[in-house]
C-alpha cells in the first residue's frame, strides 16, 4: 500500500516529536517551556530534512549505500542545528556538552526507531 507523501512527512514528524520528547524527558526536560522548544526545533529541522531526502531520492534515485551516508550527514546537521537552538535558549542552565549529548541522543534515537519502522 502506497502512503501519501504529505501524510508520511506528517507521520514521521509526529513520531520524531514523540521519541525526542521521551528522550528529553529522560534528561529531565520536564517543563512545558523546555518540551515546547524541543517541539519547535523539530518543526524547523524535521520537515526540512525529510523534504531534502525525498527530493534527492526523486531527482537522483539514490541507492541505499549512498542514501545512508547522505542521511547520516544531514542528521548530523540536524543535531548541530538543534544543539544551537537548545544552547541559545538553555546555555546558561546546561553545559555545552550536556546539550550536545541531549541533541545527539534525541536525534539518534528517532533516526534508529524511524529506520526500524519505515526502513530507508
| Distance, CA of 47 to CA of 44 (rounded, Å) | 7
Q: Encode the chain (120 residues) as per-residue pLDDT tens digits.
A: 677 878 888 999 999 999 999 999 999 988 999 999 999 999 999 999 988 888 888 887 767 677 778 888 999 999 999 999 999 999 899 999 999 999 999 999 999 998 898 775
pLDDT of residue 118: 78
Determine the pLDDT at residue 67.
Answer: 76
All residues at 6 or more sequence positions from 77 whose CB lies less than 8 Å from its CB, including other chains:
49
**Measured between alpha carbons, how far is residue 7 from residues 10, 12, 13, 19, 54 in Å?**
5, 9, 10, 18, 13
Amino acid at each position: 500500500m502506497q502512503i501519501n507523501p504529505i501524510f508520511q512527512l506528517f507521520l514521521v514528524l509526529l513520531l520524531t516529536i514523540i521519541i525526542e520528547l521521551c528522550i528529553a524527558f529522560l534528561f529531565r526536560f520536564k517543563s512545558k517551556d523546555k518540551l515546547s522548544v524541543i517541539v519547535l526545533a523539530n518543526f524547523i529541522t524535521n520537515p526540512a530534512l525529510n523534504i531534502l531526502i525525498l527530493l534527492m531520492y526523486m531527482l537522483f534515485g539514490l541507492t541505499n549505500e549512498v542514501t545512508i551516508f547522505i542521511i547520516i550527514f544531514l542528521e548530523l546537521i540536524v543535531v548541530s542545528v538543534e544543539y544551537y537552538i537548545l544552547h541559545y535558549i538553555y546555555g546558561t542552565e546546561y553545559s555545552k556538552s550536556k546539550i550536545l549529548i541531549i541533541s545527539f541522543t534525541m536525534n539518534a534515537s528517532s533516526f534508529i526507531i524511524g529506520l526500524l519502522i519505515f526502513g530507508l
